[in-house]
Structure 1
Amino acid sequence: MRCLQWGLFASGGPPALLPSHTTTVPALQHLLKAGFGFSIGVTDIGSTYVWPSNLLAGNPEVRNVLDGTQQCHVDRAAETDTSETRIQIEHKDAGCVGAGWAHIVAVSKSNCIYETARQVDVSRPGSILSLTHTLSPSQGRVILLAAGEQHSVLISDSGMAYSWGRGECGQLGHGTRENAWCPKQLLYRGSGRGHVARIACGARHTLLLATDGHVYACGWGLYGQCGTGDTADELEALPVAGLGGLGICELSAGMSHSVALTSSGDVYAWGWNDAGQLGTGTDTTIEIVPQLLEAPELEGTICSVSCGARHTMALDHEGRIWSWGWNQYGQLGTGDTLNQRYPAATILPDQCVASHISCGWWHSNALVTMK
C-alpha cells in the first residue's frame, strides 16, 4: 500500500495542503500513531520503520537503528524529501512500538523496553533506541504501547496498565504528581474495572478502555479532556462520563482533546475545541463530557479515528477520510489552511482508497490502495 502524507513540512518549503506520496518502504501494511515530525509504519513481514515528516534531515538508507548497519537501500520519494529507518531491537524486529510527541518507545521480543531520547532524530542511526526497562515476569508481556508528550503507557498480557515518565498533571495515574522512571501500575477506579484493553495518550493525559466497556481517564484536565465533568487534573483514572454501554472500541487523544469510536461507527469527542477539533460544529471552547458528532456524513460509517495536536481525522468504511480542527499547516488535507469546526472531506488523489490513518502533531498520514 502507498503512504500519503500532508501538513507541516519544515524542509524549507511550504506546508503540503493536499496528500502526496511520501515513502517507498515496500509492502507497508499499517500505520502507527505519528509524533512531532515523524511517522511510523509496519510492513507485511512485521518490520517497523520510522521516517521524518520533512521536519528532520535524513538520508535515503534504511538502517538498523541500534548499531547503524545498513539493511537495504530505499530511494527517496519523488514528491518529498524523506528517509526511512528500520526499528530493530536485539537485531530483530520490534514487538510493538508507540510514538509520543517527540519520542519513541518500543518493546523487544524478549520483553525489554527501549526508548529514544526525548527528541527523535532519524538522521542518526545507532543512537535512536536504548534499553531503559526490563519487565518482571509478574508484570507480564507487553502487548500494546502508547506515548504522550513526556510519558509512556503499556498494557501487558495480564490486562494491567503500567506507566512511567513525567507525572506533574497526574497523567501516570499513580495517585500523585510525581515522575516515575520505571513502569508502575496505573490506578483506575469505578464499577466493574475489567482488564485494560486499549490505551491512548494525549500530551499530558491518558485514556484507557477496559474490557467492561468503560472508558477511564487521568491527567491534565484544564480543557475537560479527561471527560469527567470538570476541569480538574485527575491523579487516578476515573470513568469518562456517559460512555458506558455504548460499545466503545477505539480511543485517540490529542494535545488537549479526546475522541472515542463505537463499534457501530459513532464518534464522541470532548476537551478543547478552540479550533474545532471536536467536530461538533459549535463555537463552544470546552466540552467537559463527551459529545456525539451529529454529522450525517459520519453517522454509523466510521471505522477508525486519530487525533493530532489540535486536529482530528476519521476513516469511513468506503475508504474516505474526514478531517476537522486546526489547519494552519494544511494538516486536514482540504487544499487550504482554513480551520474546520465540522467534518470536511480530505482530498485524496484520484482512485485512492484509504485503509489506515494516523495523525502526527501537525501533519497527517494515510495508507491507500488504488481502485
Structure 2
Amino acid sequence: MAHKVVSIAAGEAHTLVLTGDGSIYSWGRGLFGRLGTGKEDDELIPAKVSFNPSSKNSASLYPPVGGTNQPKFVGIATGAYHSLALADDGSVWSWGYNSYGQLGYGKENSSVPCLVEQLQELGSDSSAHLPGNNSATTPLKISSVRAGGMMSFAIDNLGSLWMWGQCPQPTDTGELCLISTPSSLPVWDFHGRTVVKVACGNEHVVAAVTSGESYTGSGLICYSWGSNTHGQLGLGHKESQPRPVVIPSFNEESTWEVYEIACGAYHTAILAQKKSYGEDIQCRCWTFGLGDNGQLGNGSTISSDLPIPVIGLPGDAFLISLDCGLFHTAAVSADGEVWCWGMEKGLGLCPDASYSGADAGDALHPLRIRSPETNGFKFLGPIQIACGAAHTVLVAGEGYRMWAWGRGRNGVLGRGVTNDSYTPAVVSWPPLNEQDIKELQGGGGSGSSLERNEMERETERRLSEAMERLSLMERYANMLHISIFRKQLDERKLKESFQGKVVFDIRREFESLLGNADGDDLMRMEGFYRSMLASVKDEILKRRVREMVNESLASMSTGRRHG
C-alpha cells in the first residue's frame, strides 16, 4: 500500500498525492513553501512530506494517534499556493502561502506542515457545535478538507461546513465581501442538512448537500455562493450571492442528481446522473461560468450563467472523476477514457508555451486523450484526475501509475524534467530513494554553482531519457503480454526476481515461467508460437519467391542482351 495512490490534488503549479499507507508526496513549484518540504526549492519528482508533531504552532500538544512520529493521513487538498492534509485522528495540517489566513493560523507562510489548532479544539468546545445536530452525544471531528484559490474548507463528522482564508461573507447590509481570516468560520445556512462535498474557485463556492438531515448515498442537491461576475454560480443571472443559494437545475425537484462537483477559477463543472426510477443509469457533465477559452465544452467561447451539458461526451460513458484547472476541464470514465477541453487543446497551457501552426487554439469540445500505454484511448485502472492551472494528472493502474501532461516548468509533471508535454507522460512513481538520486547525480558531493547546475541539467537529461525508454519498453512488453495471455500486464504480479533489477537472466526466467504456467497458459503460448512460426515461414517463402523472380528477370534481361 505504500506506493498505491488513493487520492490526488493539484494546485496552481504543484501536486500532492496521498498513498494507501497514509503518506503524502509533493512535487512541482516550491515557491511559498507549498510543497511542505521545509524549503522553497522546486521538486522535479515526487518527494515525501515529513510531519513533525513537535514542530512549531504547539503541535506537540496533539501527538498523533498511536504515538508514532508520522500521523497517518486520509485526505489532502490544494489551493492555488497552499496545501492541506487531514489525519485519521481528525487533525488538519496546512502549509504554503498564508497572506489571507488560508493556513488557519497567523499570517506568515510556512514551508513545513503545521497543525490547525482551532479545528483541533472543536471537539472539546461545546460552544463550537452547530445547531440542529446531535452535538450533545457526538464530539466534532473533521472528516474531509478542500481548498481552492486563497480559501480552505473542512467538513466535520456531523456534516457541518467550516471555512477560513479569503472567504465570501455578507456585510451588515447584506452585500457580498471577501473577508480574510485565519479563524475557522461556520457556514450556518445548512441547518438540518448534511454537507457532503464542497468545491471552490477563486471567489465562489459550490456545495453538494443532502435534502434531509442525513446522507444515505443519494439525494444531493447543489448550493452556490460568492462572486458571480461570469455566471459561475449557475443561477441564471450574474448577481453575486453572499449566502448559499440552491442552483435551480439541481434542486430537489430536478430529474438530475449531483454526485461530483469541481470549480475552476471562474467556472464550475458538475457530474449528475438521471434519477433512474427503473431506467438505465445515465450520467452527464454540466458546466457554467466563464467560457472564454472553451472550458465549458459547449462548442463556443460564450460564458453561461445556467448549467449546460458538455457537448461531445458519449452518453453511455459513466464518468467517475472530474476536475477544473484555471481555464480547462477534464473528466475520466470508469472505462478509462479521458477527455480534456479548454485552453490550448484542453492542456491549460499559457500562450507562451503552446501549440503552433494548424494545431493551435483552444478546445471548444472535449478531446479524447490517447493512452501511450495501450496505444488507444483507454487508460488501465483509472482512479482520479486532477487539474492544476496548466497541467493535468491522472491516477491509473488501480492507483499504482500516474500520467501527467501540460506545462512542465518547475517540475510540475513529476517526471524529472521541466519540459512541457502535449501527451501523457509517466510520472516518476514509485518515487526514487536517496540512493537512486545520488547515483543519477554521479555520487553527489560538493562543487561550484556552475558544476551543480551542470550536474542538475545532466540529471534531468538522463531522467528524461530513462523515462522515455521505460515507457517504450513497457508499451512493447504490454503488447506482447496481451498477445499471449489475452489480458493486460499487471506489474504488481511480476515475480520478485524481476522486480528491482536492471539485468536478469531472461532464459532462466522464461524457463521458470513455463514451469509455473498452467495448461491454458501453455496452450495460448503454443498458439502464439505457432502463429509466429507460420508468419516467419510465410515471410521466408515470400522472400524466396521474390528472389527467384528477381533472378529470373535478371537472367532474361541478360539473355536478351546476349541475343
TM-score, normalized by the shorter chain, greater than 0.5: yes
Correspondence 1:344 to 2:453: no
Aligned position for 2:265: 203
Aligned position for 1:320: 401
Distance 1:151 1:239, change over 3 A: same
Give the TM-score, by structure 1 length.
Answer: 0.78
Distance 1:49 1:325, change over 3 A: same
Equivalent of residue 135 in structure 1, options 190, 195, 205: 190
- Give how far 1:3 is off: 1.2
Asked whether the 8 Å contact 1:40–1:48 carries over to 2, the reply is: no
Distance 1:89 1:112, change over 3 A: farther
Equivalent of residue 32 in structure 1, options 59, 62, 76: 76
Inter-partner Cα distance in structure 1 for 2:145 and 2:30: 24
Equivalent of residue 42 in structure 1, options 86, 97, 111: 86
Correspondence 1:219 to 2:289: yes
Correspondence 1:266 to 2:363: no
Equivalent of residue 325 in structure 2, options 231, 254, 262: 254
Inter-partner Cα distance in structure 2 for 1:347 and 1:205: 31
Unaligned runs of 5+ in 1: 58-63, 69-79, 120-125, 352-370
- Give how far 1:95 is off: 4.0
Higher RCO (C-alpha under 8 Å, 6+ residues apart): 1
The C-alpha deviation readout for 1:129-177, integer Å capped at 9, x for no partner, is: 123433133xx31111111111111111222100111110111111111
Inter-partner Cα distance in structure 2 for 1:100 and 1:313: 17
Aligned position for 1:303: 383
Asked whether the 8 Å contact 1:105–1:115 carries over to 2, the reply is: yes
Correspondence 1:3 to 2:24: yes
Structure with greater proportional strand content: 1
Aligned position for 1:368: none
| RMSD of aligned residue pairs (Cα, Å) | 3.0
- Give how far 1:328 is off: 2.0
1:41-60 superposed matches below 5 A? 41-45=85-89, 47-53=90-96, 55=97
Unaligned runs of 5+ in 2: 1-21, 33-38, 53-69, 124-139, 168-180, 212-219, 275-282, 434-499, 501-563
Asked whether the 8 Å contact 1:133–1:182 carries over to 2, the reply is: no
- Give how far 1:297 is off: 2.2
Equivalent of residue 150 in structure 2, options 92, 97, 102: 102
Inter-partner Cα distance in structure 2 for 1:162 and 1:344: 37
Give the TM-score, by structure 2 length.
Answer: 0.53
The C-alpha deviation readout for 1:156-215, integer Å capped at 9, x for no partner, is: 1222100111110111111111111111012338xx842111101111111111122011
Equivalent of residue 200 in structure 2, options 144, 147, 150: 147
Aligned position for 2:458: none
* 1:22 partner amino acid: V
Distance 1:56 1:168, change over 3 A: closer
Aligned position for 1:293: 369
2:149 alignment partner, SS class: coil
Inter-partner Cα distance in structure 1 for 2:162 and 2:98: 21
Taking only the aligned residue pairs, the percentage that are identical comes to: 26
Equivalent of residue 90 in structure 1, options 102, 119, 122: 122
Structure with greater proportional helix content: 2
Distance 1:197 1:274, change over 3 A: closer
Asked whether the 8 Å contact 1:259–1:270 carries over to 2, the reply is: yes
Aligned position for 2:14: none
Asked whether the 8 Å contact 1:153–1:162 carries over to 2, the reply is: yes
* 1:8 partner amino acid: R
Aligned position for 1:181: 242
The C-alpha deviation readout for 1:58-88, integer Å capped at 9, x for no partner, is: xxxxxx959x9xxxxxxxxxxx941232444
1:232-243 superposed matches below 5 A? 232-243=302-313
- Give how far 1:347 is off: 1.4
- Give how far 1:13 is off: 4.4
Distance 1:261 1:89, change over 3 A: farther
Aligned position for 2:226: 165
Query: How many residues align structurally?
Result: 322
* 2:285 partner amino acid: V
Asked whether the 8 Å contact 1:315–1:322 carries over to 2, the reply is: yes
* 1:183 partner amino acid: P
Inter-partner Cα distance in structure 1 for 2:421 and 2:413: 8
Aligned position for 2:278: none
Distance 1:311 1:38, change over 3 A: same
Inter-partner Cα distance in structure 2 for 1:109 and 1:31: 14
Aligned position for 2:43: 16
- Give how far 1:281 is off: 8.7
